[in-house]
Amino acid sequence: MDPLPASLVLGALVLVGLLGYALAVASRGAPRLDAFGRVVDELRLALDQVVRQQGQLRLEVQQGREAALLGIADATQDLQGRLAAAQRVLAEMKAIEQARGSQLDRATDSLRRLEVVVAGSGSRGAAGENVLARALVQLPPDLLETNAAFEGGIVEYALRLPGGRLLPIDSKWTSAASLERLEETEDPAERRHLREQVARDVRTRVRDMTKYLDPERTLSLAVLAVPDAVHAAAPECHAEGWREGVLVVPYSLALPFVLSLYRLAVRFASAPDAVELGARLGHLAEALCRMDDAIEGRLSRALAQIGNARDDLRRDLARARQAAEGLARDATDGTVRSPPAATSPGFDPPSGAG
């Protein structure tokens, strides 16, 4: 129920007061009844005016309430429309998120299958070699040799260097399981153990690469390409591999490393290395020794024989000169001497028998 207007309450109180006043006047005498009637009429008129004002006020309150209810209904309808739009947006976002989650699950499964293929015993390293092949395919075809044969085995790729030498290049996709656990765990001890496992795998691959370091066909240097995560997880293996003659490089930098090595080989191709220089100096020392032996041996004997022949020629010339001078004196004196009888081997002049 609506509360009574204040004017109506006030009118009722006035009416009650007037009734009480009229009763009091009536108790004093009849002459005042006419005045009381007039007062009652005035009160009736005032009460009618109060009733009319109450009806007008009720009508205004009713109209205000209806207007307020209409505004509230409009606001409620607008709010309901906005809530419905928000619900539709949320449903679309939920559908997109579910689709994205399913795509992520499929991508994760694909990666896991790829890891299984890569880590399998029958095709280990195949994916890594494909990654390396996409990098090396940018080289000119005449610089890259595939399936190069060495005494230690066959290497997948080899870069042709000046002078006919080769740079062995191999790819190893290793330590996939250890890297996955290393990415997930937060335990320092387990992370250290996993890093050591990755380093052991890299050292094994480095030892495998050393069998391609043929000193006659290579520069005693090879390149081992590994995943970037493996390269970052085992930094201590970089210097160890270099001491063994194996450069451990990540896939992302394999091509720049190879190009740098080729540029250095072209730049210093004319300068012999220490081993080749030592071999050449050894050959030179052997040649000098042989020349000294020839001078002291055969050439000295030849010089001695030439000296003996010169002395013999000198003696023969002296005898011939003496004989010529004797003939010249005899011709001047006019005396003709018979020449001495010729002698031959095996002739004995006294006996006359040969």
Q: What is the pLDDT of residues 111-122, one digit of tens each?
A: 665 554 444 333
Kindly tell me if the per-residue pLDDT of 4 is higher than 60: no
Tally of CA atoms within 13 A in the half-sphere of 297 that contains its CB: 6
H or E element, residue 73? helix 33-119
Mean pLDDT value of segment 121-126:
42
> Of the spans 11-15, 164-168, 273-277, which averages the highest pLDDT?
164-168
CATH of domain 126-277: 3.40.1350
Q: Tens digits of per-residue pLDDT, 245-274?
A: 898 888 888 888 888 888 888 887 655 556
Taking Cα atoms as reference points, which of 240, 256, 230 lies closest to residue 206? 240
Q: Tens digits of per-residue pLDDT, 321-354?
A: 888 887 777 777 655 455 454 444 444 444 444 3
Ranges of each domain in the chain: 6-83, 126-277
Radius of gyration (C-alpha) of the chain in whole angstroms: 64
Output the pTM of the full model. 0.44
Q: What is the pLDDT of residue 184?
A: 75
Contacts of 167 (CB under 8 A, 6+ apart): 158, 159, 161, 218, 219, 221, 222, 223, 258, 261, 262, 265
Residue 207 or residue 327, greater confidence: 207
Would you report the helix, strand and coil content of the chain in percent, each value rounded to 5? 70, 10, 20
Handedness of CA 229, 235, 236, 239 (dihedral sign): positive
